[in-house]
C-alpha cells in the first residue's frame, strides 16, 4: 500500500512538472501586457480583460517579442465603466517580461 501511495505521488509531481513546461508564450505575453496596462489605469482593481482565447484579443509574434491587441473595461476617475483599447509589445527576457511599447487607444 505504501508503495502504491508513493507511485501515485510521484506520478502527480511528474504531471505537474510537465504541465509547467508546456506554457503558452502567447498567453504569457497577453497576461504580461494586462499587468503593464493595469499600472496605467485609474482604478486597476476594477480591470476586466477579455479571456485570452477570445476573438477580441490577438497576440502575434514568435518569441521572444510579441504584439498584443486587446482592451480592458475599468472604472475611470468618475466611477464610470469605460472600455479602453490598447496595443502592447513585450519581450520575453527569461523569468520576466520587458515592456517595449504600449499604445492606449
CATH of the domain at 69: 3.10.450
Is 10 inside a domain boundary? Answer: no
Closest CA to 34 of 86, 80, 75: 86
Give dist(CA 15, CA 11) in Å, integer. Answer: 6
Is 14 inside a domain boundary? Answer: no
Is 6 inside a domain boundary? Answer: no
Is 13 inside a domain boundary? Answer: no
Interval 21-63: pLDDT, tens: 468 899 999 999 999 999 999 999 999 999 888 777 889 988 8
- Residue-number span of the structural domain to which 60 is assigned: 24-104
Is 46 inside a domain boundary? Answer: yes
The count of other CB atoms within 10 Å of the CB of residue 66 is 23
Is 4 inside a domain boundary? Answer: no
The number of domains in the chain is: 1
Give the pTM. 0.75
Is 5 inside a domain boundary? Answer: no
Amino acid at each position: 500500500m505504501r508503495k502504491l501511495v508513493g507511485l501515485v505521488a510521484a506520478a502527480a509531481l511528474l504531471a505537474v512538472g510537465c504541465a509547467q513546461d508546456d506554457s503558452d508564450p502567447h498567453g504569457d505575453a497577453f497576461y504580461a501586457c494586462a499587468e503593464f496596462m493595469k499600472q496605467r489605469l485609474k482604478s486597476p482593481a476594477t480591470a476586466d480583460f477579455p479571456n485570452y482565447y477570445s476573438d477580441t484579443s490577438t497576440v502575434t509574434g514568435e518569441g521572444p517579442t510579441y504584439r498584443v491587441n486587446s482592451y480592458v473595461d475599468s472604472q475611470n476617475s468618475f466611477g464610470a465603466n469605460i472600455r479602453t483599447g490598447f496595443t502592447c509589445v513585450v519581450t520575453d527576457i527569461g523569468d520576466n517580461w520587458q515592456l517595449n511599447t504600449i499604445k492606449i487607444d
